[in-house]
Amino acid sequence: MAQLNFGGTLENVVTRDEFPLDKAREILKDETIAIIGYGVQGPGQALNLRDNGFNVIIGQRPNSLTWDKAVADGFVPGVSLFPIEEAAAKGTIIQYLLSDAAQIAVWPQLKPHLTAGKALYFSHGFGITYKERTGIIPPADIDVILAAPKGSGTSLRRLFLAGKGLNSSYAIFQDATGRAKDRVVALGIGIGSGYLFETDFKKEVFSDLTGERGTLMGAIQGIFEAQYNVLRKNGHSPSEAFNETVEELTESLMPLVAENGMDWMYGNCSTTAQRGALDWKNKFRDAVSPVFEDLYKSVASGEEAQRSIDTNSQPDYREKLEVELKELRDSEMWQAGRVVRSLRPKI
């Protein structure tokens, strides 16, 4: 394990150089990794592990779209694809990658198969951190571990195929076997992490829920809407408003930030852009800081978790969600986005 200095703060990280893929394979050579769920994270992690030479099986509900997707991805019913309980019985490491709501619903069926010495793996700390609310309380004689890619399963897979990696956090909630750390780090390397940084289940879920509601999704959409609407109200066309709000950010500037940092991006923009960005950033920071304080308090209190549990478990949740997504999809801004994307040059 290496220690990296982040502006005076030391963090424990694991890199591929110090923990190569061959070492991960050796540690997990006798393990059967049962991935429960083939929705958001399941496909990316399963395919990367399989391609890296690990023994992977899938547990999924038969006659479902995700079962069919697993078949299309090369998993064979009765060989490497099984109903959830059968896969859990066969696995020595259970990667519990269902949605938070589905984890709660399936837990009574999964728990009997968590026998002594197995490992229960998460990619989100929700179920364990809020265990009094979710009812997900693991047996004391198994390892409980987490490796959380900092991005979607789709991104994890795309970066893997491009020969790159998506950074992940890792955590140990329970080490019953004395092998929990080796297991979780090997799995983190196996799923294609760029590097792994240490955290705990509570910090992972607090940062994750804050990020999703904040700069990763909620805040950025709110900022997009605010700027787009101001431009449109002042006579700018949908194309101009969308390009200045979204397209230039995602296609031009954010890739530069990802490569070299915000300071480099500032330094390589026009002097007019530099001056304006530096002059206005503090005003935006000060305006939104109280919102982020409220958001974090809501996450830490469990209010956000309870809201998710209550709404996501409703039988008509998917129908209500589709109504909200349709409203977003049909908004003028994202209709403009579809047109703009269609006009991007084809390579």
Instruction: Say if residue 184 is in the same domain as residue 242.
Output: no
Predicted pLDDT of residue 6: 78
Q: Is residue 7 part of a domain?
A: yes
Q: What integer is the mean pLDDT of 180-200?
A: 95
Q: How confident is the model at residue 151 (pLDDT cuts 50, 70, 90)?
A: confident
CA 341 to chain CA centroid, nearest Å: 25
Residue 233 and residue 86 share a domain: no
Give whole-number Cα distances, 344 to 243, 304, 329, 340, 347, in Å.
12, 38, 19, 7, 9
- Is residue 122, in this structure, part of any structural domain at all? yes
C-alpha to C-alpha distance for 60 and 73, rounded to whole angstroms: 13
Whole-structure pTM value: 0.89
Of 18-22, 31-35, 175-179, the one with minimum mean pLDDT is: 18-22
In a shared domain, residues 241 and 187: no
For residue 124, CA distances in Å to 41, 168, 200 come to: 10, 11, 11
Token representation of residue 69:
């997707």
Report d(CA 87, CA 34) in Å as an integer: 6
| Helix intervals (H) in the chain | 21-27, 42-51, 65-72, 84-90, 100-110, 126-129, 131-134, 153-161, 180-190, 201-213, 218-233, 238-242, 248, 254-260, 262-267, 271-301, 303-312, 317-329, 332-342
- Residues 185-197 have a mean pLDDT of 94
Least confident of 3-7, 94-98, 325-329: 3-7
> Residue 269 above 90 pLDDT?
no
Q: What is the mean pLDDT of residues 10-36?
A: 93
Whether residues 228 and 107 fall in one domain: no
Looking at residues 202-227, what average pLDDT do you find?
Answer: 95
- CA 171 distance to own-chain centroid: 15
Q: Which residues pair with 144 in a beta bridge?
A: 120, 174
* Domain boundaries, position 163: 2-199
Instruction: Output the CA torsion sign for 249, 203, 200, 305.
Output: negative
Q: How far is CA 7 from CA 4, 10, 35, 102, in A?
A: 9, 8, 38, 40
Q: Does 339 score more than 90 pLDDT?
A: yes
pLDDT above 80: residue 1: no
* Averaged confidence pLDDT in the chain: 94
pLDDT band at 200 (very low <50, low <70, confident <90, very high): very high
Q: Is the alpha carbon torsion for 147, 149, 153, 159 positive or negative? A: negative
User: What's the mean pLDDT in 255-260?
Assistant: 90
3-state secondary structure of 30: coil
Domain boundary among the residues 199, 227, 255 is at 199
Which one of 50, 118, 124, 232 is the catalytic residue? 124
Q: Does residue 161 form part of some domain? A: yes
Is the confidence at residue 136, as pLDDT, over 70?
Answer: yes
Output the pLDDT for position 9: 81
Q: Are residues 193 and 231 in the same domain?
A: no
Residue 72 sits in the same domain as residue 8: yes
Choose between 93 and 347: higher pLDDT.
93
* Residue 124 annotated to the active site: yes
Percent of all residues in the chain with a pLDDT value above 70, rounded to a whole number: 99
Amino acid at 203: K
Name the region of 37 (left: φ>0; alpha: ψ -120 to 50; beta: rest).
left
How much is the pLDDT for 72? Answer: 97
- Which of 177, 199, 221 is the last residue in one of the domains? 199
Q: 119 with 183: CB under 8 angstroms?
A: yes
How far is Cα 331 from Cα 245, in angstroms, rounded to an integer?
15
Is residue 33 one of the residues assigned to a domain? yes
DSSP string, 123-178: SSSHHHHTHHHH-----TTSEEEEEEESS-HHHHHHHHHTT----EEEEEEE-SSS
Is residue 5 pLDDT above 90, yes or no?
Answer: no
DSSP 61: -
How confident is the model at residue 347, as a pLDDT?
Answer: 66
What is the total count of domains within the chain? 2
Q: Which amino acid is at 230?
A: V
Instruction: Please indicate, yes or no, if residue 207 is contained in any of the structural domains.
Output: no
First to last CA, the chain: 41
